[in-house]
Structure 1
Amino acid sequence: MKTPLILTRLCTAAVFMVFLTACQSSNVMVDYDTDANFSAFHYYDWDNDSQTDSQTDNSLSLNPLMLERTKTAVDNALFTLFLNRATKEAPADILIRLNISSETYNQEPNSRASIGFGSGGNNSAIGVGLSLPIGGDTIINETRIVIDMIGVGDNKLKWRGSNTIKISDQSAEEITSLMNDAVAEIFSHYPPS
């Protein structure tokens, strides 16, 4: 391996670790095989069973761009964890299976009301406040990402991480950033300690 590539990976890993300590998500869920030797995994490949699943009720089918964003985010995260893509010379130790589900729904805007009472001296007052949002419902796309790592030798699940992101009116760049962050949060739990 050439020195510039090692330095690039170390710098990338350092930035990745700083990011991970700055933001943790309560949406991340992880499970793993307690008998698995995660230090033995060096090369990965994509499993052919990776799939997308969309809820049939009130949902749009998953955007193919979202799948590509997720795969790229996974490749980048694995690179920072020093897992390399398998080649003919270096076969995969682990397969990555990606499952993405997406559901779209309308979120009604919040309205609020309050009542206040006050008195001072011989005077008293009652105040009523009402907050009504301007505009209609917001369309929310909730996307759940599940990443499985499956052993090549025994075809058993070794590690699973998942996260959920909500997208409303973000730009393509912001969605890519959200996906990168969500995948990075998942892999902040790999390897298990």
Structure 2
Amino acid sequence: MKLFALFAPILLVALSGCSSTDVVTDYNPRADFSRYERYTIADSSGADKVVSPFIVDNVKESLQRQLKAGLYKQADTPTNADFLVRYYIAEAAETVDRSPRLGLGFGSFGGNFGVGTSVGVPLGKDKINRNIQIIIDLLNPADKKLTWRGSLVIELDDRDPKVNANTIERAVTEIWSQFPPA
């Protein structure tokens, strides 16, 4: 039991390092979000040129589902909108997924003292993960000034577009769940 008490804090710190990226939000505290009912998608929405148009379409469709689920209505004209919605998809830093490694450990344990060493032997090639950042902005339609922003970095799957669509849906849902600010 003493051994568990010794290693529990170390395990918690290690697991907290494995948590996913959180949504980052910012907003204008003077904005009155309770008046937001009708929206229009800003013409300046889009993505970096390297981002697939399919990814852009998935983000737009997912965002429109979230707006509809939040009981927001699309304005018939931009002048009738209470807020503009702008989305942008940017390529984020790629990460390297190290291949599994085989560890050989040697050590001793005597009394209350332990020593250990390990040697890692790579078992395959490193994998480069493609990441994108989804940014959702809400703008004041009169002056086009930013009132709220939410963003999240996600990892894309290079092999399965269906997995990407699901990942994007979850990401946009997670971003939109932070609106309105508390």
Query: TM-score w.r.t. structure 2 length?
Result: 0.75
Q: Which residue of 1 aligns with 2:144?
A: 155
**1:168 Cα deviation (Å)?**
3.6
Q: Which one is further off, 134-143 or 104-113?
A: 104-113
**1:30 Cα deviation (Å)?**
0.5
Q: Which amino acid aligns with 2:73?
A: N
Matches of 1:162 and 1:141, distance apart in 2: 17
Are 2:130 and 1:135 equivalent residues in the alignment?
Answer: no
Query: Structure 1 regions of 5+ residues with no counterpart?
Result: 1-23, 55-60, 121-126
1:31-180 equivalent positions in 2, closer than 5 A: 31-53=26-48, 61-88=50-77, 91-103=80-92, 105=94, 107-110=96-99, 111=101, 113-118=103-108, 130-180=119-169
Q: How large is the Cα RMSD of the aligned pairs?
A: 2.9
**1:101 Cα deviation (Å)?**
0.7
Does structure 2 conserve the Cα–Cα contact (< 8 Å) formed by 1:97 and 1:149?
yes
Number of aligned pairs? 159
**1:112 Cα deviation (Å)?**
5.5
Matches of 2:178 and 2:58, distance apart in 1: 20
Matches of 1:88 and 1:103, distance apart in 2: 34
Query: TM-score w.r.t. structure 1 length?
Result: 0.71
Matches of 1:89 and 1:118, distance apart in 2: 72
**1:134 Cα deviation (Å)?**
3.0
Matches of 1:162 and 1:107, distance apart in 2: 22
Does structure 2 conserve the Cα–Cα contact (< 8 Å) formed by 1:106 and 1:137?
no
Matches of 1:66 and 1:114, distance apart in 2: 42
Distance 1:131 1:191, change over 3 A: same
**1:53 Cα deviation (Å)?**
2.1
Q: Which residue of 1 aligns with 2:12?
A: none
Matches of 1:89 and 1:34, distance apart in 2: 24
Matches of 1:90 and 1:97, distance apart in 2: 16
Matches of 1:47 and 1:154, distance apart in 2: 13
Are 2:181 and 1:192 equivalent residues in the alignment?
Answer: yes
**1:43 Cα deviation (Å)?**
0.9
